[in-house]
Every structure is written in structure tokens, then in C-alpha cells.
Structure 1
Amino acid sequence: MAGSQFMPAKSWAGGHSDVIMPPGGKKFKDIELTYFQDGNWLHAPLWLSEQFRKDAGVSIKSRELYDGGDTVAKVLPQLLSRKPRFDWVQYPCLFFGQFAETGQLEPLDDYFAQYAGSQEYLDWVMPAYREFYTKWDNKTYGIMLDGDIHILHYRKNYFNDPDLQRKFSKRFQRELVVPKTWPHFLECTQFFTEELSSKGVYGTSMVVNPPAFGWGFWMDIAASNGVNYFDASMNPGINSKQAVEALDMYKNIIEFSGPGGKSMDINQTIQRWQSGTDVMSVWWIDLSEFTVQQQGMEMAEQQGADIVPGWEQPDGSINHKAVSLWCRTGSIPKNLPQDVKDAAFYFLYRMSHPSISDEIVADEYCGSDPFGRSHYTDESARKYTMANPQRGTDNDLWPTNSGIFKTFETARSHLDGGLRNVEVGYPQFYWEGTPQYADALGRNISKAVSGQLTSQQALDEAAEEWVKIVQKLGIDNQKRQYENFLAGARKLGYKI
């Protein structure tokens, strides 16, 4: 398939049209694949199935949905089975390292080598995803399918309101602009809440629950303040002075988030955004996409997107970090017949490749967010305003097909905000022990928010639990696995 045979190098910014074929141009022998996916990722493999069957002799026979919280329970037994029930699996990237550690994911480097131009594809995947969620111990085990990232969503009409601008300037002696630092974000949150709460509008809301996700919204603040999960010797870094400062900031923001702020869950933050209750929201990039219909077009067109705030440094620069929480990878189990593995790789690779994924990341019934360079171009922004040519509306699973946003300007702003954050993307933990680390950190952060513990006490408790987790799993084993995180972080220039 790839490269010079179907896409000139200059075209990698977009405009991919040539059909990717299996190695040697020979079709598969009508291989039908079964796959597993978490239920919040949607339907692209199903609508691509018939086209892939015609082009390459590989299609989808069936899929099995599982709840994302049950990923390990649903996926791990199949990887360890001599006869897995799936031919490929899509799963949240939090579990990538744990699954790779089993030795039962098929290494993919030799498969990529069969396709001319595959190196261009690998270079096309954004480094914030490629370096952490596809590679393990210097081998490739995953293909990116979904590039989650936290971004700052905001309502342009409030920041552009002359009366609010005048009041803010009088109070803070500076212009009302989208905040670039966390102290400024706190000021804006307090200001909007105090000015607009009588109308049912608040500055922001922060995800606190479930704790397994809430920690990631604190980590946006903490990572930009220089906090890392561990040092190279697996000593926790989550209870440092900078970490405590970040938790104090998180708590202070929540104080101005209105009723229920201290126990806010993911669904409540969605409801607040789509109802127009929040002026700002630090959330995943797709918040402004899947809520368009509920918001109504007028409100949806007032959405803006920008980089998650950071902390000002001594030289005047601002250190930003946006957590790439969740994300999705596709992998192939080792214990399959070779022809099935070849077909599964083809399906995953072609679906991830820009010739296909440029369309699906802009489709409301896909569930994938941008993860490759061409996903952020003007051409891709236009796709958010148009029908997806890969499918019709002849299925109850995807009954409409008219684009997500009304205007190019809104789509372009959406992608600009996403790109700014991907360029400073900070990975979640994704090695063995991830569920335990997430629970310990999120649970204790929640206790600090509710006032049961001080910020220092909460993070000390979390760090103590992390030490026990490391000891239980084996410090040498954890150090070796954590080195994958460190290697990726060094490539991206992060200070660890």
C-alpha cells in the first residue's frame, strides 16, 4: 500500500484519495474479523467494512462492546487465551503498557515494513500519542485510533461583552481575555461567577468524580507546575511543594464553580456546558462537538477553544501541559492464525491512516478525536462542516450526515485549540498498576476538595499508597516499565 504508491509526500497535509491495498496488491481471501471496543467509541469500523471488503477482501463479521471501566476484565483474558474471541481490539490507552507486558500483543513493526511509505505514516502520528501509546520496550504494539486531549473551552460572547470587559478592567486593572495562566483562570472564574450566578451562569466547573478521572484535571495544573508522577527511582513526585500548590489552585477554582462543585462528575460538567451554564470548561476536545445539537446552533457557534492554562516561569514564559487522558489504541492478539493477523493489521492501519481517518475524526458517529498531523489542517476543518463521503444515513447507528459545525471559522478555532494542547500534551500513566494509581490519587484529591484532608495531607496519603503499589508490583519491574514513559518524555523535551 502506502507512501509513493498512493500518496506523494507533499500530500500528507491532506487530500488523500488513493486506495490502500495489501502488500503486493493481492486481496485477502474474504476474511471476516471480529473485534472488541469500548462502548463510548462509536461505529467507523462498521461503515468502513463494506468498502474494505470490496477493495481488499477483509470486512467486519461482528463486534462486542464493553464498558471502559471493565477493560482489563474483558480484554486481558482474551489476550491470554489460546483462542481469543477477537481478531483485533480497541481499548483505552491507560491499559496499553499492562497489555503489552503480557507478551500477548502482536509486535507490529514487521507488518509496517511490508507497506511502502509506512514510515511517513508513523511520523504523521502526533508525537504526544505515538511516543506513549503505540510503543513499548522499543517495539510497536499499537495503532492510534483516538487522540484525546484536554483543552480550554470558552464562550466567546462573555469574553467579548463590553459591560463585562469594563467591569473586569476596573477590578483587575487589565483586559478581560481568555486566561493563559492558572492564577488568571481563577480570577476569571471568580469574576464570571460573581457577575453572572444570579442568571444561573458560572465561571467554570471542574471534574472531581469519578476519582479515577478527576485526578487528570488536577494533573493539568500540576504538570504545568513541574510535577511528575515519579522520579527515575520510582519515588512519587505527587506530594511536592508544587503539587500542593496545584491542588490548592484546583480547590480554589472549585470554590467558585457553583452548586455541587465539590462533587462534580463528568456527566454534570457535560450538562453544564451544553446548557450554557459554564463560561469556561477544561475538558476533552470533543465537548464542543457532541453537545452541538443540545446547545443549539447559535450557542454552539459561540464556542471557542484555547490552550489549557499554565504557570508563569521566572523568564516570563508560561509552562503549559495538557493531559492526554483516555485515548484509544488498536492492537492484535498474538494467538491468531497468520492470515487473520495480516488482515487485522490491514484493517487497523488503513482505518488509522489519514486517507481514511481524515474523514472519521470529523464524523459525529465515530468517537475518534484528531491524532495525526493532517487532522489539524484547513482541509480537515472543512470536513467538520460537511457530510462524510464514506457513508450514508441508511443505518440507525448513524442516521444523519451533515457535519458537526455550521461554519469553517468555528471548526478552525476548534482545531487550533486542540493543536495547541497536543503540542504540550502530557501523558497519563499507562503501565501496570494504572487503575490502582488512579484510584489512590483521585480518591485522596476528592478528600481534599471536600475538606476531609488538607492538600498536603491528601497528597501525602496518595504518595504513601503509591509506594505500597510499587512495592507490591515490584520496584525493579515498575522502574523498567516507567522507563517507557521517561523515554517518551525525553523525546518530547519534558523535564523529568
Structure 2
Amino acid sequence: MLNRRELMGAVSVFALSPSVAWAQAKNAAETAVAAAKQYAGTEISIVWEAGLQSLDPLNYSGPKWEKLTGIKVKVVEVPTDQMFTKIMQDFRSGAGAYDALNVIPSWMPDLVRAGALEDLDPFVDKFGYREELQDIAPAYRDNQMTVGGKIYGFPDDGDVMLLYYRKDIFEDPKMKEGFKAKYGYDLAPPKDWKQFAEIGQFITDKMAPKTYGAGFFRAAPYPQYMFQERFRMEGGKFFDAATMKSTVNSDIGLKVFNGMLAENKFMPPGVEQWNFVDNLANFLQGTTAMTISWPPYGRWAAGYGSGEEALNWVPKSQVAGKVGYALNPLGRDELGVGFALAVSATSKKKQAAYLFIQWLNSKQTSLERVQLPYTLRDPFRTSHYESPEYRKLWPDAPAYLDTIKKAGETGLLDLSLLQQDKYDEAMTKAISSLWTGEDPKAILARMASQFDAITEKVGVDKQREVYKAWAAKPGAYPAA
């Protein structure tokens, strides 16, 4: 018979066993850590976008996970444009080289149909994660998490296109007076693309070459996300839902292309070749008064993270404290790429991989990760937007987070079909041709023809099924 001391010792050992400890944890992060300790001494791999993104698991979350659980994390860095191919190659080979995955949500129908992603629902229920998933902003949770009603990925990056503008210029009394006299309405963040063009031209006329009205990244592949947003917000549909014939070659498509082309005239010379960094540098140096990009621009413009060695490529902001944040013209912003955490169907360590991504994605850990100045993970949870800690990071951080929250409630989902990369390539090439001076009508006709050829190759009936499911999501098309 055990004496009291022996009995208490036995109870302590029992309480600390993984099968019991995780069930008594206070939150999803603690649950994942407690359950994962049974795998101490093993290693899991995770695919991550090469570059700044990978500094999160390499420098922060990977080492912290190993310290908490004893599980090593091998980070497999892959360029974004190769990630889909690498994931599919590993799946088809059956090698199981990858355990956890980062996937762009628009790839998920392809990956799920192929069988490359593990259904996460059983793990979500086993480890009590369903409630915390409700904290993820609706646009991401409702659009980027499930395929066919099952969870295959955890939205993990609040990618959304936002409008950034120079408050000091927009609030300058002389500029306000002159603009109101010319156009009859107040100088403010544009509500539609007509206002955007009028404001941009006005600022250029008054301030160029020191400051131009706006600047955008125009080099491939970025502009196609802006096209997707504008085309739908102007009333366009990508396909006829019954026939699956492309409908991009339309009056709406032509209006959007002509608008994009005309805007270059009040932007700095050479804007057609600008990439992500060119556009960032010009805005931070004060050359442009408006731009549209992902959330990191807002942080870097405020000077957040300027002392980080990993960000020494980011020009020193000359506009800190002068930048305002707003929704894009017409009020529903493209979610624009994003990432979701998933588990490879061929992994030999599925539960360990799952526990790692639950911990990464949890309210507690994700709040730490989205505040890292040297990575590109953006706020994606309601708790991120409301975090007192985050809202103190720089003076305008509350306005920044409030704007991201609005965008995250109503954002537009990237087109997501089988072989989506082929449709993306067709849009990217079309816009590149637009900058060379080719006739917009001819470009749209060719793009529509390319869309139709891809659909035929995939199979009209098969693609119609996927398109119908995508179009039914709240972020697919704005309400009529």
C-alpha cells in the first residue's frame, strides 16, 4: 500500500503526463506545448517562404518551440513562386520530407483535391482549438480556412491591401482650399477611383517633381491583385457561372485597364517598372503622396523596426508621423496572397506538426509573432487589433490597427481555382503588356482566351464546381 507521500508523488507524475497535462491547459498555446512534450528529442520540418518571412521560425518561434517542448524545427526555405510545386512534388513522391506547411490560400482547392493536405478537424477537436479560431478576423476565417466544409489550414497572415496617404499634405490648408475650389469636395482619402485620379493629378500639378500624387508597384506579379480587386468592385465577374466562359473581356475590364493606364501619367516617371521595394522607397522618402500595399508599409513608414539589422534594406522613413491609413477606393480591399498553416498528408509526424502550427497560430503566440519588426506576418486576429501592447508601438498604431480590422472584416478573397497559378500568370502577363502600350481591348481578349483554355484543360465541369464553391464565399464578390 502507498503511503501519503508516495501517493502524492504518483499523482504528480500522473498530472504531468502529456495525455493529461494538455487537457488541463488554460489556452491553445499551453495545450499544444503540453501535448507536444511527448515528442521531445524529435525533429519536424516546415516549409516557409524564403526571405524575411522565414526569420520568424528561424530566429524566434522555432527556437522558442524547441525550448518549450524539446522538438527541433527544421525550416525549409522556398521562394514563393516555387512553394506550390515543391509541396506537390513531395506529396506525389510520397517522400514525406515536409511535416508542416505554409500554403497560399488560393492554392488550397488544388492541394486538397490532390490529397496533399491533412484534414485538421480531428486535431482541432482533440486539442480544443475550435473556440480560439473564432478570434480570427472573418474575412480570413470564412474564406481561407476550409475547403468543402473541412478545415485544411489556419489563416496566419493578415495580408490585405491598404491605402497609405500623407496626412500633412491632405491637411495642408492651402491644398485643401485649392482642391475644394477646383473639384467641389473636400480633400480626403478617395472614396472611388475617380476621386483617386483627381486627387493624384492635383497633388502632382502642385508639388511635382518633389512629390507626385501617387505611386504603385507596377512590376509583375503584384498588379494583378489590384486588378482583381478593382474589376470586382466595379461590378465585374471572372466567369459566366453556367458556361464557365471568361467574362474579363468586358466594358468593366476595359474601364479598369484604362484607369490603371491613365493613373501612371500623374505618377513618377518610370513607375511602370517599380517593384515592391521601389514603391516602398519612394513613399518613405516622400516622393509619393499616396500608395497601396500590404500592412508592412504602414509599420515601416512609422519607423517601427528601423534599428533591426534585418531591415537595413528598408530606407529610413522621412514621413514618420505623417502617414494616414484608409481603405482603398470603393471600400473593399484585396486580401492579396496571405498564408495559412497546414499539415502535409504524407508527414510521418502529423500530430507533432499539428501541435506546432496550433501553437504558432494561437492567440498568445501569434500576437508575439505579428509584432516582430523583421518579419512580414501581419495582424489577423481580433485580439491583435485590440491588443493594448500593439496599440502602443508607435503613436498612430491604433489608427493602423483599426484600418486593418475594417479591411479584415470585408476583404476580397483572391480568385481560387484549380491550377490557379495559370490564371494568375495570364493576368500578370496581361498587365505587363498594358504598360508596353498594347491596345487594352486586344489584351483583354487574349486574357479571356487564355482563361478559357485553362478551364478547358482542367475540365469545365470540374472547374465549375470549384468556382461555384469559391463564388459562394462572402469575400468572393461584393454584394449586389
User: Which secondary structure does the structure 2 equivalent of 1:239 belong to?
Assistant: coil
Alignment of 1:59-98 (within 5 A): 59-60=72-73, 62-98=74-110
Contact 2:286 2:318 in 1 (8 A): no
| Aligned counterparts of 1:344 and 1:25: Cα–Cα separation in 2 | 9
Alignment of 1:94-173 (within 5 A): 94-116=106-128, 118-173=129-184
User: Which secondary structure does the structure 2 equivalent of 1:488 belong to?
Assistant: coil
1:188 shift after superposition: 0.7
Contact 1:3 1:120 in 2 (8 A): no
Q: What residue is the counterpart of 1:244 in the other structure?
A: 254
| 2:50 aligned partner, one-letter code | G
Q: What residue is the counterpart of 1:461 in the other structure?
A: 446
Contact 2:23 2:31 in 1 (8 A): no
Matched, 1:345 2:369: no
Matched, 1:423 2:409: yes
Identify the match of residue 229 of structure 1 among 231, 238, 243: 238
Matched, 1:49 2:62: yes
TM-score by length of structure 2 reads: 0.86
Unmatched runs of 5 consecutive residues or more in structure 1: 8-15, 311-319, 386-405
Deviation per CA, 1:84-134: give whole Å up to 9, x if none.
222112133332222222112111000001022x22222222222223322
User: Which secondary structure does the structure 2 equivalent of 1:348 belong to?
Assistant: helix
Q: Which has the larger radius of gyration?
A: 2
1:328 shift after superposition: 0.8
| Aligned counterparts of 2:22 and 2:321: Cα–Cα separation in 1 | 38
Matched, 1:302 2:314: no
| Aligned counterparts of 1:253 and 1:6: Cα–Cα separation in 2 | 53
Alignment of 1:5-44 (within 5 A): 6-7=26-27, 19-21=30-32, 27-40=38-51, 41-44=53-56
| 2:464 aligned partner, one-letter code | K
1:434 shift after superposition: 1.6
| 2:365 aligned partner, one-letter code | I
1:380 shift after superposition: 5.0
1:486 shift after superposition: 1.9
Matched, 1:478 2:478: no
> 1:480/1:356 Cα in 2 relative to 1: closer, same or farther (>3 Å)?
same
Contact 1:154 1:281 in 2 (8 A): yes
Deviation per CA, 1:59-97: give whole Å up to 9, x if none.
31x212111111233221112232222211213333222
| Aligned counterparts of 1:112 and 1:22: Cα–Cα separation in 2 | 15
Contact 1:206 1:264 in 2 (8 A): yes
Unmatched runs of 5 consecutive residues or more in structure 2: 1-20, 307-313
User: Which secondary structure does the structure 2 equivalent of 1:63 belong to?
Assistant: strand
> 1:26/1:436 Cα in 2 relative to 1: closer, same or farther (>3 Å)?
closer
User: Which secondary structure does the structure 1 equivalent of 2:334 belong to?
Assistant: strand
Matched, 1:204 2:214: yes
Contact 1:132 1:484 in 2 (8 A): no
Contact 1:193 1:258 in 2 (8 A): no
Deviation per CA, 1:15-67: give whole Å up to 9, x if none.
x9x7334677964343321222111413222322344334444331x212111
User: Which secondary structure does the structure 2 equivalent of 1:180 belong to?
Assistant: coil
Contact 2:32 2:356 in 1 (8 A): no
1:279 shift after superposition: 0.5
Q: What RMSD in Å do the two structures reach over aligned CA positions?
A: 2.5
Contact 2:391 2:401 in 1 (8 A): no
Contact 1:213 1:438 in 2 (8 A): no
Contact 2:33 2:68 in 1 (8 A): no
Alignment of 1:358-373 (within 5 A): 358-373=367-382
Q: How many positions carry a matched residue from both structures?
A: 447
| 2:327 aligned partner, one-letter code | I
1:469 shift after superposition: 0.8
